[in-house]
Chains A and B, each alone.
Chain A
Amino acid sequence: MPQLDPTFFGTQLFWLAVSFIVLYLLMSRLAIPRIGGVLKQREDKIQGDLETAQRLKEETKSVIAAYEKALADARGEAQALARQTSDAANAESAQRQQEVSDRIARELAEAEKRIAAARSEAMANVRVMAAEVAQSAFARLTGSPADAGRVKVAVDAALKGGS
């Protein structure tokens, strides 16, 4: 078995040491830093991207919150405004109504007053006419002129009882 021949033990160990040390130096100086650097770089990149995504997500969240807050504020404001407007409108219409009903009441009172005046005037006319009719009817029936004063009293009494 050539493996057990000690003739070449020395050279094999020597060249094993040389090649292994050379490989170790090359690996530790060149290959390992490079591959390790590439892996580190990738890890950093992924980590950075994840962090950016997280930050953007939080930013989005805060923007949405701000938007919703603005929306709620605007809605509240709009409601307040609407309420205010409707209150004002209600007040105005109530006032208008009041004015209108006042005017109607005033006009009604005036009209009643006019009606009453017209009525009393008419009644006065009726009295005079009734007295004249009664006088002339008395004269026609009796042939003698009626006493104007007694006729007037009688007419008044009759009108009072009739009314």
Chain B
Amino acid sequence: MAGPLEQFKIKPLIELPSIGGIDISYTNSALWMTIAVVVVMLFLMLGTRQRALVPGRWQSMAEMTYEFVNNMLTDQAGSGGKPFFPFVFTLFMFILAGNLLGMVPYSFTFTSHIIVTFGLAFVVFIGVTIIGFIRHGAHFLSFFVPKGVPAVMLILLVPIEILSYLIRPVSLSIRLFANMMAGHTMLKVFAGFVVGLGVLGGWAPLALNVVLTGFEILVALLQTYVFAVLTCIYLNDALHMEH
């Protein structure tokens, strides 16, 4: 029987020549990213293919996710965040699909890999910083100087502010990665107990696993929301420079 961490193993499916010394083999992780793209597009496009004035159930769901992300962005970043809606919506749907597809048995959860979540968080971080400098120029650096604080304190506070800003992509990526990994590992551990305890004692961990599965779906949704909402908050900081 496979260990609890076996599920996170990357397996190359198609060997591809490396580009510039980087191996770009098509792996199970890449496969599930592809599936996520296809599923997201099918969900949104097939749901709205009739463009009904009075939406059916599927179209309602597609519209609700759209409006949910739209409202989230407008609430956090105001109307100035509108141009970044496609990015935020893509990010939200990509992570949501990754998290939820990970709940399918025998699938691979690409959001349980730190390098993937860090890649996403780093894009957000770099993008937000660039937006901040484009919007405010060098004035954006005053973001790190808290207002109404004595000059002496600034010697201490400015490095803290800069550090807390730089730590954003790390905390953002670790939060998602750790949540996904911990949940999936726990499911696997209890599934191992089911087998280990056999027909007589296995029912207890099985029941627990059912509960945990439901809990994991909640975590999958919640962590998607947290990632997207923090992206919106960072975007708001860059656009409006408010603490």
Interface residues, chain A, CB within 8 Å of chain B? Answer: 1-5, 7-20, 22-24, 26-28, 30-32, 34-39, 41-42, 45
* With A23-B93, A30-B45: A2-B33 Cβ-Cβ less than 8 Å: no
Contact partner, B89, options A3, A27, A42, Cβ 8 Å: A27
Known contacts A19-B37, A38-B48; decide if A2 and B22 are in contact (CB<8 Å). no
CB distance from A139 to the nearest CB of B (A): 140
Q: Which of B115-123, B136-144, B191-199, B235-243 contacts A (4 or more CB under 8 A)?
A: B115-123
Residues of chain A with a CB closer than 8 A to B66's CB: 32, 35-36, 39
Shortest A4–chain B CB gap in Å is 7
**A37: chain B residues within 8 A (beta carbon):** 51
| Total number of residue pairs linking A and B with CB closer than 8 Å | 133
- Picked from A16, A24, A39, the residue with its CB within 8 Å of the CB of B86 is A24
Question: B27, A8: Cβ atoms under 8 Å?
Answer: yes
User: How many of B's residues come within 8 Å of A, CB to CB?
Assistant: 51
Are B89 and A10 in contact, CB atoms less than 8 angstroms apart?
Answer: no
CB distance from A119 to the nearest CB of B (A): 111
Determine if B34 is an interface residue (Cβ-Cβ < 8 Å).
Answer: yes
B108–chain A nearest beta-carbon distance, Å: 11
Please, which residues of chain B bring their CB within 8 A of the CB of A7?
Answer: 10, 23
Task: Give Cα A5–Cα B115 distance, bound, in whole angstroms.
Answer: 10
- CB pair B85 A32 closer than 8 Å: yes
Can you list 20 residue pairs at the A/B interface with Cβ under 8 Å? A3-B112, A8-B27, A10-B22, A12-B115, A12-B116, A12-B119, A15-B33, A16-B110, A19-B36, A20-B123, A23-B37, A23-B41, A26-B37, A27-B93, A30-B41, A31-B44, A32-B85, A34-B51, A38-B59, A39-B63
B29 at the interface (CB under 8 A from A): yes
Q: Is B165 positioned at the interface, with any CB of A under 8 Å from its CB? A: no
| Contact B94–A11 (Cβ < 8 Å) | no
Which residues of B from 117 to 152 have beta carbons under 8 Å from A? 119-120, 123
Known: A2-B8, A30-B41, A39-B63. A11 touches B33 (CB 8 A): no
B51 close to A41 (CB less than 8 A): yes
Residues of B with C-beta under 8 A to A14: 19, 22, 24
